Amino acid sequence: MHSLNVALGDRAYAIHIGRGLLEQAGRILPCLKTQRVAIVTNDVVGPLYLERLRSALENAGVAVSTVVLPDGEAHKDWQTLNRIFDMLLAERCERSTTLIALGGGVVGDMGGFAAACYQRGMPFIQIPTTLLAQVDSSVGGKTAINHPLGKNMIGAFYQPRLVLADIDTLDTLPDRELSAGLAEVIKYGLIRDPEFLAWIETHLDRLLARDTAALAFAIERSCRNKAEVVAADETEQGERALLNLGHTFGHAIETGMGYGQWLHGEAVAAGTMMAAELSRALGWIGKEDVARVEALFERARLPVWGPRLGVERYLEFMSHDKKVEAGRLRLVLLRALGRAVIHGDATQGEIAAAIEARCR
Amino acid sequence: MHSLNVALGDRAYAIHIGRGLLEQAGRILPCLKTQRVAIVTNDVVGPLYLERLRSALENAGVAVSTVVLPDGEAHKDWQTLNRIFDMLLAERCERSTTLIALGGGVVGDMGGFAAACYQRGMPFIQIPTTLLAQVDSSVGGKTAINHPLGKNMIGAFYQPRLVLADIDTLDTLPDRELSAGLAEVIKYGLIRDPEFLAWIETHLDRLLARDTAALAFAIERSCRNKAEVVAADETEQGERALLNLGHTFGHAIETGMGYGQWLHGEAVAAGTMMAAELSRALGWIGKEDVARVEALFERARLPVWGPRLGVERYLEFMSHDKKVEAGRLRLVLLRALGRAVIHGDATQGEIAAAIEARCR
């Protein structure tokens, strides 16, 4: 097992990465405030892993309540969030009860937001079961639900007390979801870790074959990158925005196509190609760099072209981005492969051209 | 004008209390992050005061968006909250836009919660226009909406950057709302400020007659009490719970009667009588103390008897209280008039008897 620390002062927490963690209630117990938990999961992950976690906790004397949500980004809304509140109140969960989110990014985002809001804040643990959640969304305390006009528009910064990434849970992950997770893994290489980027290029086949050692390394290195950025800028006043490479374009794809049509990681891959294309048009990276990114995404079985929503609709959805300042889009672009920057000076025309060039 | 400071480190803020503050955009400008605000108000307060605030801000070069919500506790729900989000997104408000809550406790609670959640947090200013909001709910950062099973169950601790209590706005306050506010004023006297309690007894007629100097003194003294408690215990780990005298019983009345039937302050007055009765039954205060509290509430035209919901329903609603720990109700009771304590050892029978004794 590998362990990392997210250095956030009195809200610091550990990330454990390894096999068989779901059965190790002993890792969870010290993080509970009382012997009571409420587990939030979905109807895909629940049947596979809920009983394993529940019995580990119950055998350790912990009282367990559960709620099983419908799976998918299309349900990351208030209505589904409210099912968590209904359960917490019906089961008389207290503000000292610990909420455990067992699932992918959607479950983690909603479980975390519910924990942030229930009785104005209850303790919270992330047990991510997808690669995407293990390398990205479970770490750093961003929680949210979607609004019809924009993804993740309503949420909170609310840190978990523990993240348990059990690599065993990846055994049942569909190939498409594995690839989606790789989009975020590749992202860390592109924004700040060129050595990791080269490692991914070398080891991508092992990752796709779900080789344990390769996955463990990729998850740990990704989490370490994320933990460093979050510790330096918890509420995204600056550097943290770099983690959003490809996300402004990608959120437009997700919102425009209807939540759940594209997986988040797929939209991030296509969005990253748009960011790369714009970086190239600005003269920051070369054609061969764009081709290198494209080749890596393609090998990872990720889309490298955005859907034809129409440039106007892209720009419309992007105008709601959380990084907009004084009406101006601030985009994460690539100064080089391995070095991302925030750029607020791209013109509408330049942005439109990059979208146009990467839609098919 | 009187000014106070809520000492919360880098989240410290000022409370200004006086006449004509609504027109003084100059007080607001230094607290804005950008020259953009979104004002949240309701259909009672809006027609009276929105234009005054809006034109003061617009004349100072600030762009103003607005949303007018339906009035009343019955609307303190997700559906109404979502109208704020719809407006913020439709108007392309950014996370640097400042949300201003112009209204009573419901507007402040919902506006504050919307600000806490929109894009994971936007700056926020309280302009309370009821006595209750000016002396209590606008200060301290408690924000929330109601759930059918419990009042204020879903919310956040989220501090404003400024509180402007314009006494002018009390000129149009209905008598019933003025009385409701006095319940919270009397509360400060009962829980920690016996000198203030005596002052209220002496000056109650002036307060009911809306004498400016008396109101200004009562608001400032109340806010000072609240600011001290909040600075010592922002997230209610201990002492802050004392501010909830009468609230556990009161929330049961509000929830049981249907939100909006009883004003919050009315429910707090009747609930405080139940807490006083229980304190008497425990031998902490005497019959004459209970009578003194009752006489003061009655003079303030507040209810001193709870509705006959049935003791079982009271206990059911109270079991969802945020102060419940390990299944045990923790009640705020009176060791003496002017000294409240948290008590977790009252039996169900003792609590039931106190409710029974104060229902009519």
Query: Structure tokens of A239?
Result: 């550097």
Query: CA of A86 to nearest chain B CA: how many angstroms apart?
Result: 8
How confident is residue B356, by pLDDT bands cut at 50, 70 and 90?
A: very high
Interface of B with A in 272-311 (CB under 8 A): none
Three-state SS letters, chain A? CEEEEECCHHHCEEEEEECCHHHCHHHHHHHCCCCEEEEEEECCHHHHHHHHHHHHHHHCCCEEEEEEECCCHHHCCHHHHHHHHHHHHHCCCCCCCEEEEEECHHHHHHHHHHHHHECCCCCEEEEECCHHHHHHHCCCCEEEEEECCEEEEEEEECCCCEEEEEHHHHHHCCHHHHHHHHHHHHHHHHHHCHHHHHHHHHHHHHHHCCCHHHHHHHHHHHHHHHHHHHHHCCCCCCHHHHHHCCHHHHHHHHHHHCCCCCCHHHHHHHHHHHHHHHHHHCCCCCHHHHHHHHHHHHHCCCCCCECCCCHHHHHHHHCCCCCCECCECCEEEEEECCEEEEECCCCHHHHHHHHHHCEC
Q: Given this model, what pLDDT does residue B264 score?
A: 96
Instruction: For residues A227 and A124, state if they share a domain.
Output: no
Instruction: For residues B33 and B80, state if they share a domain.
Output: yes
Mutate which of B81, B109, B119 to test chain A, going by most A C-beta atoms within 10 A? B119
Instruction: Return the biggest CA–CA distance within chain A.
Output: 61
Going from the C-alpha of B304 to that of each of A90, B100, B265, B355, B360, the distances in angstroms are 31, 35, 11, 12, 9
Q: Given this model, what pLDDT does residue B327 score?
A: 86
Q: Which of B85, B118, B155 sits opposite A117 (nearest CB)?
A: B155
Q: Which of B34, B116, B119 sits opposite A326 (nearest CB)?
A: B34
Q: Given this model, what pLDDT does residue A112 score?
A: 98
Number of cross-chain residue pairs from A and B with Cβ atoms under 8 Å apart = 86
From CA B96, how far away is CA B94, in angstroms rounded?
5
User: B130: which residues sit within 8 A by CB, 6+ positions away?
Assistant: B103, B104, B105, B169, B170, B173, B177, B180, B181
Instruction: For residues A167 and A107, state if they share a domain.
Output: yes
Instruction: For residues A106 and A204, state if they share a domain.
Output: no
Q: Is A344 on the interface with B (CB under 8 A)?
A: no
Instruction: For residues A155 and A113, state if they share a domain.
Output: yes
Kindly list the residues from chain B whose CB atom is less than 8 angstroms away from the CB atom of residue A153: 85, 89, 118-119
| Catalytic positions of B | 120, 142, 184, 226, 236, 240, 244, 247, 251, 264
Q: Is A82 on the interface with B (CB under 8 A)?
A: yes
Does the active-site annotation cover A187?
no
Q: Which domain-ending residue is among A171, A192, A216?
A: A171
Yes or no, beta carbons of A322 and B119 under 8 Å apart:
yes
Does the active-site annotation cover A251?
yes
Domain CATH code at residue A205: 1.20.1090.10
Nearest chain B residue to A144 by CA: give it.
B120
Instruction: For residues B115 and B29, state if they share a domain.
Output: yes
From CA A22, how far away is CA B41, in angstroms rounded?
48
Q: Given this model, what pLDDT does residue A326 score?
A: 87
Instruction: For residues B203 and B349, state if they share a domain.
Output: yes
Percent of chain B past pLDDT 70, that is, above it, reads: 100
Query: CA of A36 to nearest chain B CA: how many angstroms apart?
Result: 9
Instruction: For residues A147 and A209, state if they share a domain.
Output: no
Q: Is A63 on the interface with B (CB under 8 A)?
A: no
Q: Whole-structure pTM over 0.90, yes or no?
A: yes
Q: Is B315 on the interface with A (CB under 8 A)?
A: no
Yes or no, beta carbons of A156 and B116 under 8 Å apart:
yes
Q: Given this model, what pLDDT does residue B267 score?
A: 98
Q: Which of B95, B120, B320 sits opposite A89 (nearest CB)?
A: B320
Kindly list the residues from chain A whose CB atom is less than 8 angstroms away from the CB atom of residue B149: 86, 89-90
Query: CA of B215 to nearest chain A CA: how many angstroms apart?
Result: 31
Interface of A with B in 129-168 (CB under 8 A): 142-144, 147, 149-150, 153-157
Does the active-site annotation cover A192?
no
Q: Which domain-ending residue is among A136, A171, A206?
A: A171
Kindly list the residues from chain A whose CB atom is less than 8 angstroms away from the CB atom of residue B153: 85, 89, 118-119
Q: What is the pLDDT along chain A (360 residues), one digit of tens a residue?
A: 999 999 999 999 999 999 999 999 889 999 999 999 999 999 999 999 999 999 999 999 999 999 999 999 999 999 999 999 999 999 999 999 999 999 999 999 999 999 999 999 999 999 999 999 999 999 999 999 999 888 999 999 999 999 999 999 999 999 999 999 999 999 999 999 999 999 999 999 999 999 999 999 999 999 999 999 999 999 999 999 999 999 999 999 999 999 999 999 999 999 999 999 999 999 999 999 999 999 999 999 999 999 999 999 999 999 999 989 888 899 999 999 999 999 999 999 999 999 999 999
Going from the C-alpha of B111 to that of each of A148, B77, B159, B280, B334, the distances in angstroms are 20, 12, 12, 39, 33
* Domain span at B57: 2-171
Does the active-site annotation cover A59?
no
Yes or no, beta carbons of B235 and A120 under 8 Å apart:
yes
Does the active-site annotation cover A146?
no
Query: CA of A120 to nearest chain B CA: how many angstroms apart?
Result: 4
Residue A342: how many other CB atoms lie within 10 Å = 14
Yes or no, beta carbons of B153 and A89 under 8 Å apart:
yes
Instruction: For residues A16 and A66, state if they share a domain.
Output: yes
Domain count, chain B: 2
Instruction: For residues B157 and B230, state if they share a domain.
Output: no
Nearest chain A residue to B236 by CA: give it.
A120
Domain CATH code at residue A59: 3.40.50.1970
Percent of chain B past pLDDT 90, that is, above it, reads: 96
Query: CA of A117 to nearest chain B CA: how many angstroms apart?
Result: 5
Instruction: For residues B215 and B141, state if they share a domain.
Output: no
Yes or no, beta carbons of B149 and A90 under 8 Å apart:
yes
User: What pLDDT digit, counting tens, does each position of B331-352 carry?
Assistant: 999 999 999 999 999 999 999 9
Kindly list the residues from chain B whose CB atom is less than 8 angstroms away from the CB atom of residue A144: 120
Kindly list the residues from chain A whose CB atom is less than 8 angstroms away from the CB atom of residue B326: 34, 94
Among residues A226, A280, A343, A358, which one is catalytic? A226
Q: Which of B121, B149, B156 sits opposite A89 (nearest CB)?
A: B149
Yes or no, beta carbons of A156 and B325 under 8 Å apart:
no
- Mean pLDDT throughout B213-239? 96
User: What pLDDT digit, counting tens, does each position of B294-320 carry?
Assistant: 999 999 999 999 999 999 999 999 999
Q: Given this model, what pLDDT does residue A108 score?
A: 98
Q: Which of B86, B147, B157 sits opposite A120 (nearest CB)?
A: B157
Instruction: For residues B16 and B132, state if they share a domain.
Output: yes
Whole-complex ipTM: 0.94
Q: Which domain-ending residue is among A106, A140, A171?
A: A171
pLDDT surpassing 90 at residue B114:
yes
